[in-house]
Amino acid sequence: AQTVTQSQPEMSVQEAETVTLSCTYDTSENNYYLFWYKQPPSRQMILVIRQEAYKQQNATENRFSVNFQKAAKSFSLKISDSQLGDTAMYFCAFMKQEGGADGLTFGKGTHLIIQP
C-alpha cells in the first residue's frame, strides 16, 4: 500500500512571496503519478500540477513547479509570486500507473494562507 505524508498542517506567507509545500511518499511501485490538488473553501478539488515518475524533468505550470526527487520519494510544490487566490488546502496525491483501477491516495493536506 502507498502512503503520502504532508508534514506541514498550515503555512502562511505574504502576498507575492514564494512558498514551498512538502510531500513525501512511500511505495514499492516503479511507475506512478504524483499530483498536487488545491481545495479552496468552495470544496472543489482542482488539479494544480502532475508529475509522471518516469520523467526526470520537474513539471511546471505557470507559477507552480515541483521538485521531484524519486530516490528520496519527495515531491514538493513551489508557488512563486503567491496570490490571495492561492489560499486553500493543498493535497499531495499518489496514483499507480496509468490505466489502473485504483483511486488516488492523498496526504493529510496543508492549509496555505496568503496574507495581503
Nearest CB to other proteins, comparing residues 20 and 97:
97
Q: Please spell the DSSP secondary structure of the chain, one letter per residue.
A: --EEE---SEEEEETT--EEE--EEE-S-SSEEEEEEEE-TT---EEEEEEETT--SPPEETTEEEEEETTTTEEEEEE-S--GGG-EEEEEEEEESTT-S---EE---EEEEEE-
Nearest CB to other proteins, comparing residues 12 and 14:
12
As measured in angstroms, the least distance from the Cβ of 116 to other proteins is 25
As measured in angstroms, the least distance from the Cβ of 99 to other proteins is 5
Q: Which positions lie near other proteins, rule CB under 8 A?
A: 33, 35, 37, 42-45, 47, 50, 52, 91, 95, 98-109
As measured in angstroms, the least distance from the Cβ of 10 to other proteins is 11
Nearest CB to other proteins, comparing residues 11 and 104:
104
